[in-house]
Amino acid sequence: MKNLLVYPLYKIKGRGSEYEGHKLNLQKNIEIVEKFGCVDAIKVIGSEVDHWSEMVGDMIEKIYELNISGNNVLFSEIDTVFLQEFSEIFSLEKLTMFARCNGASKIDPSLSAGYYLNSGLTYYPANLDSSIWELSRNKFKSDNSIAVAGTTYEVLVNRMFYSQFSDMKSGIDYIKKTVGFSKYNWRGHLIVDDDQMPEDPSEIKHVHFLNMSEYIHGNSSFAPFWYNEFLDRFHSCVISGESAANVLIDLLQYYADQNGLRAGKKPNIQKYIAKFKEKIK
């Protein structure tokens, strides 16, 4: 049994420049993870595909094949960065998601606000019952929309996660007890008003930038690869062994400075920044 970290790198028809951008960022992520030395192997899955749903369907199959071969598989999207070593994840006994989405699912009413989880970082343990995979495999029809493919994928992974528990609250309690919310897959601007967000920057081990915000939400403040400067700074901190706390604060300030935030969001971000600054005095 091996502990694998898996990144997806697909070349979607008509999006060659984005593929090259992700490829560069993937290399930075690999350098960071290699410094930590807490995985047996880093696997990059991908191919050339015609549309988003083809990518997601293929991605699920490749993760499935690695998992049923007896491996612990930690899947992370490329628009993320690890800030600290993460070997604790591989001791988890269940398929695990690490952070909430902002609000409820728009396609599955059972996934209400507080229960709809983000799939940007997902752990599949080697002991995962193969029947759970049937909730997500072969579920995609041809559709070139990222909004359809991305949100459908997220719902399917949520269904896999909650199928392990007698009720959804037990699933939430499992995350709270074993690893805690948003220590991994931290997305400061989306759920900064969640009272279960880490209040100390030293607790944050993995950041998710949400490169897809422009595609899914039409948010012009977050164009593709808007986060590259922050990724470079995080990379520099990790490689040099410096604290990333100030970069996290600057990232939160970047969020606060954007137009189009819903009412009350900016003051909440500023309060969150103040908590971080207090911790690093």
Task: Give DSSP secondary structure letters for 46-95.
Answer: --EESSHHHHHHHHHHHHHHHHHTT-EEEEE-SSEEE-S--GGGGG--S-
Which DSSP symbol is given to 258? S
Which DSSP symbol is given to 113? T
Range 137-142 average pLDDT: 69
What is the pLDDT confidence band of residue 157, given thresholds at 50, 70 and 90? very high
Question: Could you tell me the two tokens for 1?
Answer: 């049994």
What pLDDT digit, counting tens, does each position of 13-28 carry?
998 999 999 999 999 9
Question: Could you tell me the two tokens for 172?
Answer: 């939430």
What pLDDT digit, counting tens, does each position of 46-102 carry?
999 988 888 888 999 999 999 999 999 999 999 999 999 999 999 999 999 999 988
Q: Which residues of 129-139 are buried (b: 16+ CB within 10 A; e: fewer)?
A: eeebbebbeeb
Distance of alpha carbon 198 from the chain centroid: 16
pTM of the model: 0.93
